[in-house]
Amino acid sequence: MAEPEFTATGVRIGKRLRSLTRAGQVRISDGRLELLTSYGSEIDSAPVQAVRASKPWFAADDRALADLNGNRYLLTLGDHDPAPGEPGPPAARRFIEAVRRAAGRSG
């Protein structure tokens, strides 16, 4: 298995007003985006070309939207990248850039 292109742990994943996990994982690997629970169970996954990642205009800087398979998920990542060697999720901006990069789309 190849090294993941993007990994974030400790991510709050919600769908509409419902929280699915408070310490989930987001991973981009082998051309797929996976949303996982804190136990590693799959919530949803899709080819990265079919994923739309964006920044909600109404939310704080630590939030990102991910549209997978007709479902919209609100991801709460870090509001800034953690210091090297420190635990914590990377910034939402890095997630959006990683999705675009993995899908071959720019900016």
CATH of the domain at 77: 2.30.29.30
Query: How many domains, in total, are found in the chain?
Result: 1
Residue 4 has pLDDT above 80, yes or no: no
d(CA 45, CA 91): 21
Q: What is the pLDDT of residues 7-52, one digit of tens each?
A: 999 999 999 889 999 999 999 999 999 999 999 999 999 999 999 9
Question: Is residue 57, in this structure, part of any structural domain at all?
Answer: yes
Q: Give the domain range for residue 38.
A: 6-106
Count the residues in the chain. Answer: 107
The predicted structure's pLDDT at residue 40: 93
d(CA 69, CA 81): 28
Question: Is residue 30, in this structure, part of any structural domain at all?
Answer: yes
Question: Is residue 60, in this structure, part of any structural domain at all?
Answer: yes
Q: What is the pLDDT of residues 60-79, one digit of tens each?
A: 788 999 999 999 999 999 76
Question: Is residue 1, in this structure, part of any structural domain at all?
Answer: no
Question: Is residue 17, in this structure, part of any structural domain at all?
Answer: yes
The predicted structure's pLDDT at residue 49: 95
| Signed CA dihedral, 40, 41, 44, 49: sign only | positive
The predicted structure's pLDDT at residue 87: 67
